[in-house]
Amino acid sequence: MTIIDTPFNNVFLLKATLHKDKRGGFMEHHNHKNFKASTGHDIQFCQDNLTYSKRGVLRGLHYQLPPYSQSKLVSVIQGEVLDVVVDIRKGSPTFGQHFSQLLNDKNQLQLFIPRGFAHGFITLSETSIFTYKVDQYYNPQSEGSIAPDDPFLNIDWKLDKKNWILSDKDRQHPYIEKARLFDFKEDLYA
């Protein structure tokens, strides 16, 4: 596994080793021991989720607040998405900044998103199958969200807003200035 740094501490891109032969290919999609050794985080993922989306579906920006905050390990099995993470830790030197990355079935990158970051993605291909692991179960009372078109964040989602497909719930997200957020801590896992 190769670790690729991003502009944020503790947000990593991961590239698994693909072993190919005449039958096709094999890779370890997640190996806890290798993940811990490579990232320094002993994350115990408890649930795997899949989303199936068509072009233009935008999901996000989502997160959960303490004590039910979540880390995520995300990737794309089929198709292509633009994946976005936003630092939502008040007082952080990178508060309100975002990082985006194309994830697809060709580059087979994974993105680790720690607690304290909002997450969203938009499907750029005709369809996508997106998978993500979480280290905490969903808790509706701790759910947080930010509008993907927040002008303060100024995220380029690569598709014109008129082509976005949002759930009714995602249409109601507040801008970051009115959202419930994290307080900054250097160690997100303390």
Which is catalytic among the residues 30, 62, 63, 98? 62
Classified by CATH at the fold level, domain 42-183 comes out as Jelly Rolls (2.60.120)
CB 117 within 8 A of CB 88: yes
Spell out the domain ranges in the chain: 42-183
- Tens digit of pLDDT per residue, the chain (190 long)? 889 999 998 899 999 877 788 988 877 788 889 889 888 889 999 999 999 999 999 999 999 999 999 999 999 999 999 999 999 999 999 999 999 999 999 999 999 999 999 999 999 999 999 999 999 999 999 999 999 999 999 999 999 999 999 999 999 999 999 999 998 876 666 5
Active site (annotated) includes residue 62: yes
Active site (annotated) includes residue 41: no
